[in-house]
Chain A
Amino acid sequence: WGVIGHQTVAKIAENNLNIRAKAAVKDLLPDESLTQISSWADQVRSQPEYRYTSSWHFLNLPDGLDYNSFTQTVKGLSGDNIYTAILKCGKTLSDPSSSRAQKVEALKFMVHLVGDAHQPMHISRAEDKGGNTIQVQFNGKGTNLHSLWDGKLLDAQGLTADEMATKFNKTNPAQILQWQKDPILKWLFESYQISSKLYAEVQSGSKLSEEYYTKHLPEVQLRLEQGGIRLA
């Protein structure tokens, strides 16, 4: 996601933290909110000392996997990716022997990566760089499929992250509980299923407008909401 998308996920999470987690977050980040640090991982990924984290933001996969083959493929991948990075950050945060500095960094990554795990185009194909090389037009302006889903669809709403978090805060407790029980691999598979559908819908050069926006905005909103609830 772009800045607004990550801020929305972080704000929804802040609204759903329990007392213990809220106190821990306050201790680790005394002067910043989760919203404020939600895009830190994007800001540092091009710096030499953090270049090793650039593969943490996504998963490249072949087409046509069912859930079983998806989970086997993801678990069998070599090298770091969004799945191994989320597991690693979780381990650092729950390990009493991790230093405070390690936990602060793991928290900043976790807030960002759980958001990215819910952006469908982050769980997609390698050959088009997650839709980055699929050029499309949206409302008469040139963009690409990845960028459209990162921010352009959200920007078209004209709402701030706080406004979106409030708007999406209507989930019933049973649904929250279910989403929070879902394993990380299921979050990733949901994104994979959506991106497969998005690829099938557009060809490079497609002209997309109101109809595409109306069709997919509820899906964007759902992914941000699930991301925030599961991050909490």
Chain B
Amino acid sequence: GILNEVLKNYKPEPKIKDDQKT
């Protein structure tokens, strides 16, 4: 399937914690 293929190497963007925001 197309989603199983195109998302196989998906990496979530790291979440920025509030105290790390500039």
The residues of A with any CB-CB pair to B shorter than 8 Å are 13, 16-18, 20-21, 23-25, 27, 86, 90, 93-94, 96, 100, 107, 110, 114, 180, 184, 229-232
User: Which residue of A is nearest B8, CB measured?
Assistant: A20
Could you tell me the distance between the alpha carbons of A75 and B6 in the complex, rounded to whole angstroms? 21
Q: B6: which A residues are within 8 A, CB to CB?
A: 90, 93-94, 110
Q: B12: which A residues are within 8 A, CB to CB?
A: 24, 27
State the main secondary structure of chain A at its contact with B: helix
Mark out the residues of chain B between 1 and 22 whose CB falls within 8 Å of any chain A CB in the assembled complex. Answer: 1-13
Q: List 11 A-B contacts (CB under 8 A).
A: A16-B1, A17-B4, A20-B8, A21-B4, A25-B3, A27-B10, A93-B3, A93-B6, A180-B1, A230-B1, A231-B1
Pairwise interchain contact B4-A232, C-beta atoms closer than 8 A: yes
Pairwise interchain contact A114-B2, C-beta atoms closer than 8 A: yes
Could you tell me the distance between the alpha carbons of A127 and B10 in the complex, rounded to whole angstroms? 42
The residues of B with any CB-CB pair to A shorter than 8 Å are 1-13
Q: A21: which B residues are within 8 A, CB to CB?
A: 1, 3-4, 7-8, 10
User: Which residue of B is nearest A95, CB measured?
Assistant: B6
Could you tell me the distance between the alpha carbons of A16 and B1 in the complex, rounded to whole angstroms? 9
Pairwise interchain contact B9-A18, C-beta atoms closer than 8 A: no
Q: A16: which B residues are within 8 A, CB to CB?
A: 1
User: Which residue of B is nearest A91, CB measured?
Assistant: B6
Pairwise interchain contact B3-A110, C-beta atoms closer than 8 A: yes
B22 to chain A, nearest CB (A): 19
